């Protein structure tokens, strides 16, 4: 099993553990509101409901069920994900999509419950998720009003880690040379693009650095 698949299953483990420790009031805890100035990225990358119960329902596909049934359904979904990874490795794009889904949902669940999600354990999954998520960047730039833009995007494996994705993103005609740059660790970039964290918070933590007008538009400052 490769590192990305292991990291994906660790996210399932963390989600299972968090749900197993919940009490009755935890199911109605709201998901933390978007840290972004608008919901553009959240609309592109998706959400899992408005509260913890809705998020677990989204993960399991079981509706109108109580806590015990939802816990059992989550364990079944976890087993299904593990069996799929172990018996028939998914395509690269499918694995990236699964990583994107679980990185965001595990984050949302832990935030709502006030729990800490180990970023190092999920780092390989976050990198894989970013390889898919950066495909949305041109669309997000267009939504900010950019008609011709060239952005240098650097994605790191963990905070202050090595660059693992080095991509030039272009929108429109006549934008051949990068005039802006975003440099972020994979987990931070996912949270930023999905509207879970604002650029100023992530920048203050040293997890995202940006320069140029187009970059400012993308990160929402």
CATH 3.30.1050.10 is right for the domain spanning 136-219: yes
Mention every residue, 6+ apart, whose C-beta is less than 8 A from residue 168.
150, 151, 152, 153, 178
- For 217, the 3-state DSSP assignment is helix
Closest CA to 82 of 168, 16, 181: 16
Q: Is the pTM of this model over 0.85?
A: yes
Locate the domains of the chain by residue range. Answer: 3-129, 136-219
Mention every residue, 6+ apart, whose C-beta is less than 8 A from residue 109.
15, 18, 19, 52, 55, 56, 115
- For 152, the 3-state DSSP assignment is strand
Mention every residue, 6+ apart, whose C-beta is less than 8 A from residue 43.
none
CA separation for the pair 213, 152 (Å, rounded): 12
Q: What 8-state DSSP symbol labels residue 134?
A: G
pLDDT band, very low/low/confident/very high, at 124 (cuts 50, 70, 90): very high
Is residue 119 within 8 Å of residue 158, measured between CB atoms? yes
Query: What stretches of 28-178 adopt beta strand conformation (E)?
Result: 149-156, 163-171
Higher pLDDT, 142 or 168: 168
pLDDT in tens, 126-137: 999 999 999 889
What CA–CA distances, in Å, run from 144 to 11, 153, 169, 189? 32, 17, 15, 17
pLDDT in tens, 192-217: 998 888 899 999 999 999 999 999 98
């Amino acid at each position: 099993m490769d590192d990305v698949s292991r990291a994906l299953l660790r996210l399932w483990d963390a989600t299972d553990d968090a749900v197993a420790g919940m009490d009755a009031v935890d199911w109605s805890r709201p998901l933390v509101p978007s840290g972004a100035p608008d919901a553009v990225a959240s609309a592109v990358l998706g959400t899992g409901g408005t509260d913890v119960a809705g998020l677990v329902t989204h993960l399991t596909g079981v509706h109108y069920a109580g806590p015990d049934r939802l816990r059992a359904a989550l364990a079944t979904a976890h087993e299904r994900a593990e069996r799929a990874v172990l018996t028939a490795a998914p395509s690269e794009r499918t694995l990236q999509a699964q990583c994107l889904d679980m990185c965001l949902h595990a984050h949302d669940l832990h935030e709502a419950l006030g729990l800490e999600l180990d970023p190092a354990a999920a780092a390989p999954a976050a990198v894989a998720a970013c390889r898919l998520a950066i495909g949305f960047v041109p669309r997000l730039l267009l939504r900010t009003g950019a008609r011709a833009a060239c952005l240098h995007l650097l994605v790191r494996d963990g905070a202050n880690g090595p660059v693992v994705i080095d991509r030039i993103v272009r929108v429109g005609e006549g934008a051949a040379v990068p005039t802006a740059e975003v440099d972020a660790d994979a987990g931070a970039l996912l949270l930023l693009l999905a509207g879970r964290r604002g650029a100023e918070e992530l920048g203050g933590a040293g997890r995202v650095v940006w320069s140029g007008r187009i970059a400012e538009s993308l990160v929402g400052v």
